[in-house]
């Protein structure tokens, strides 16, 4: 488990591979190289490669993974995935049909690379694409290990990667987070974020360092409130839906219409929607577009699980949709909506759906989802937070209704 200087808990566990044996070093073109025992070739030494070599040693000697069941830096396209990217390490298994298939993906980062949401998303994306049950991300000091939970269609955090025979059997030990730490005092939030951005610290609350500070503090406060399971949203009838249970925090993976993958801790709510039981989950994460890879914003995502699929029904980018005036934070949404692979829906049509089903959030050309006064720590028992969450969920449900309409049309 990783703890920052202020004791903020992360879903990262400590890893120490300092004493693991490294391969012999040789010179090639005046540069030091490892003689890789798996690839059977000389590899230039870099900080990331040193971590990778220690992990390879650990896999072979500690977890008893056969060398011929390990591939290193192999293109995903070798596994019939349309991508030019490479997976650091893939552990293979033999299927009943006698074919080799990925069982685990291991992503290695240099020791100076913090393991944040972007790095975890990459690991989960590779696991999804390769249909691997296990994932392991490490920089040699911190690590997170996951196991696919087929029943709930989520990834569970586990203590460590099991040995090869146990992986074949699907065995694992769940990671116990222990007691929640005390939240950072309200008057220290901005200082904490500023120091974290300057030091490159990973944040459990995945906030972009490019988001304006007054908005970043609000996003951080809201995210911490969503993750604090000591405060519960009251069960009851909220108009468009009934809350059956505030289900707490789950580690989940979702896709969006643009093909992105989001993995992290979501606050989940079990709801009754017209007699049907659904899961709706909220998460604060970073968000970027492929055409602008250097621009990263902070996003509030509302995800819906139903009998058809699991997806982000709403992605509200804080940078573009939250207006801060003094300590008042107004949450809007512009209404833009993607309809699967069909492109964008029509905002005017969406507004018609909202007018019929949930008109109280219409505010001119935008949708007004609520206000929070940023003068205290927010939690799920706060009336203002409850109103915002109810509006977010209701708006996301209407958006999904419109998507179904647009697809049929």
- Alpha-carbon gap, residue 249 to 297, rounded angstroms: 23
Please give the angle made by the CA atoms of 308, 268 and 254, to the nearest 5 degrees.
50
Last residue of a domain, one of 169, 195, 229: 169
| Contact predicate 72/60, CB 8 Å | no
Pairing type for strands 13-14 and 292-305 reads unpaired
Domain boundary among 169, 203, 218: 169
95 Cβ contact partners less than 8 Å away, ≥ 6 residues apart: 101
> Does 214 reside within a domain?
yes
Position 205 scores a pLDDT of: 61
Q: Is the dihedral of CA 54, 56, 62, 63 positive or negative?
A: positive
Do 161 and 213 fall within a single domain? no
pLDDT band at 41 (very low <50, low <70, confident <90, very high): very high
Nearest Cα neighbor of 314 from 395, 404, 403, 240 is: 395
Considering only residues 121 and 366, tell me which one the structure prediction assigns the higher pLDDT. Answer: 366
Taken in order 210, 301, 227, 293, the sign of the CA dihedral is: negative
97, 191: one domain: no
CA angle 213, 214, 215 (to 5 degrees): 90
Judgement on whether residues 164 and 194 belong to the same structural domain of the protein? no
What's the whole-number mean pLDDT along residues 14-18?
A: 70
Tell me what the mean pLDDT of segment 357-385 comes to: 96
The residues that bridge with 89 in the sheet, in sequence order, are 72, 106
* Two structure tokens written together for 94: 């033999």
Q: Three-state SS for 229?
A: coil
- Give which of 278, 322, 279 is closest to 300, Cα–Cα: 322
From residue 51, how far is each of 22, 42, 119, 199 by CA, in Å?
9, 16, 15, 22
Query: What is the reported pTM?
Result: 0.71
**Cα distances (Å, whole numbers) of residue 250 to 157, 227, 228, 268:** 10, 10, 12, 7
pLDDT at 256 over 70: no
Q: How far apart are CA 144 and CA 158, in angstroms?
A: 8
Task: State the CATH number of the domain containing residue 31.
Answer: 3.90.1570
Least confident of 194-208, 211-225, 230-244: 194-208
Q: How confident is the model at residue 10 (pLDDT cuts 50, 70, 90)?
A: very low
Look at residue 52 and tell me if it is in a domain: yes
Residue numbers of the domain that contains 70: 13-169
The percent of residues above 90 in pLDDT, for the chain, comes to 61
Domain count, the chain: 2
pLDDT digits (tens, 9 = 90+) for 298-354: 999 999 986 566 788 999 999 999 999 999 999 999 999 988 666 788 999 999 999
On whether residue 217 sits in a domain, the answer given is yes
- DSSP three-state, residue 357: helix
Tokens standing for residue 21: 């044996």
Q: Is residue 4 part of a domain?
A: no
178 in any annotated domain: no
The DSSP output letter for 376 is S
| pLDDT in the model for residue 362 | 95
Query: No. of H helices and E strands in the chain?
Result: 8, 20
Q: What 8-state DSSP symbol labels residue 344?
A: B
Maximum alpha-carbon separation in the chain: 72
Same domain, 264 and 401: yes
In a 10 Å sphere around its CB, with 0-12 CB exposed, 13-18 middle and 19+ buried, how is residue 127 labelled? buried
Helix (H) or strand (E) holding 56: helix 47-61
Q: Would you say residue 179 lies in a domain?
A: no
Name the token pair of 338: 């993607």
Shortest CA distance to 314 belongs to which of 206, 397, 208?
A: 397
Residue 2: inside a domain: no
Kind of pairing, strands 70-75 and 86-94? antiparallel
Q: Are 163 and 254 in a shared domain?
A: no
Beta strands, E only, 216-351: 236-237, 242-255, 261-273, 276-289, 292-305, 310-317, 322-325, 328-333
* Strand 41-44 with 70-75, pairing: unpaired
Q: Which residues face 283 on adjacent strands?
A: 301
**Is 196 in the same domain as 77?**
no
Judgement on whether residues 70 and 98 belong to the same structural domain of the protein:
yes
Q: Sorting pLDDT into bands at 50, 70 and 90, what band is 255?
A: low
Q: How confident is the model at residue 257 (pLDDT cuts 50, 70, 90)?
A: low
The answer to whether the CB of 148 falls within 8 A of the CB of 65 is no
Position 160 in a domain: yes
Whether the per-residue pLDDT at 3 is higher than 60: the answer is: no
């Amino acid at each position: 488990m990783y703890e920052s200087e202020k004791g903020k808990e992360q879903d990262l566990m400590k890893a120490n591979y300092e004493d693991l044996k490294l391969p012999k070093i040789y010179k090639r073109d005046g540069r030091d190289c490892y003689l890789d025992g798996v690839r059977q070739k000389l590899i230039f030494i870099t900080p990331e490669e040193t971590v990778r070599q220690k992990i390879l040693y650990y896999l072979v000697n500690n977890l008893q993974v056969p060398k011929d069941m390990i591939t290193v830096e192999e293109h995903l396209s070798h596994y019939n995935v349309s991508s030019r990217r490479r997976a650091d390490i893939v552990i293979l298994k033999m299927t009943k049909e006698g074919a080799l298939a990925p069982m685990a993906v291991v992503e290695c980062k240099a020791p100076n690379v913090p393991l944040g949401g972007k790095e975890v998303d990459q690991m989960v994306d590779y696991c999804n694409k390769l249909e691997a049950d296990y994932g392991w991300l490490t920089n040699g000091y911190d690590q997170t290990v996951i196991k696919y939970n087929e029943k709930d269609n989520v990834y569970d955090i586990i203590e460590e990667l099991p040995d090869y025979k146990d992986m074949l059997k699907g065995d694992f030990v769940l990671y116990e987070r222990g007691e929640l730490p005390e939240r950072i005092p309200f008057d220290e939030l901005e200082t904490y974020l500023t120091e974290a951005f300057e030091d490159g610290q990973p944040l459990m609350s995945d906030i972009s360092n490019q988001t304006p500070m007054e908005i970043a503090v609000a996003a951080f406060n809201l995210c911490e409130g969503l993750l604090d399971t000591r405060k519960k949203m009251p069960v009851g009838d909220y108009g468009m839906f009934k809350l059956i249970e505030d289900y707490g925090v789950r580690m989940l993976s979702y896709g969006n219409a643009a093909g992105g993958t989001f993995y992290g801790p979501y606050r989940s709510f079990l709801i009754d929607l017209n007699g049907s039981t659904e899961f709706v989950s909220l998460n604060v994460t970073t968000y970027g577009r492929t055409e602008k890879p250097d621009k990263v914003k902070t996003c509030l995502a509302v995800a819906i699980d139903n009998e058809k699929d699991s997806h982000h029904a709403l992605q509200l980018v804080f940078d573009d949709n939250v207006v801060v005036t003094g300590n008042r934070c107004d949450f809007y949404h512009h209404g833009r909506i993607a309809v699967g692979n069909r492109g964008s829906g029509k905002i005017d049509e969406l507004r018609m759906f909202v007018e019929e089903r949930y008109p109280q959030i219409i505010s001119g050309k935008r949708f007004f989802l609520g206000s929070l006064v940023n003068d205290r720590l927010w939690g799920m028992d706060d009336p203002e937070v409850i109103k915002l969450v109810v509006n977010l969920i209701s708006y996301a449900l209407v958006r999904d209704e419109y998507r179904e309409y647009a697809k049929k049309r």
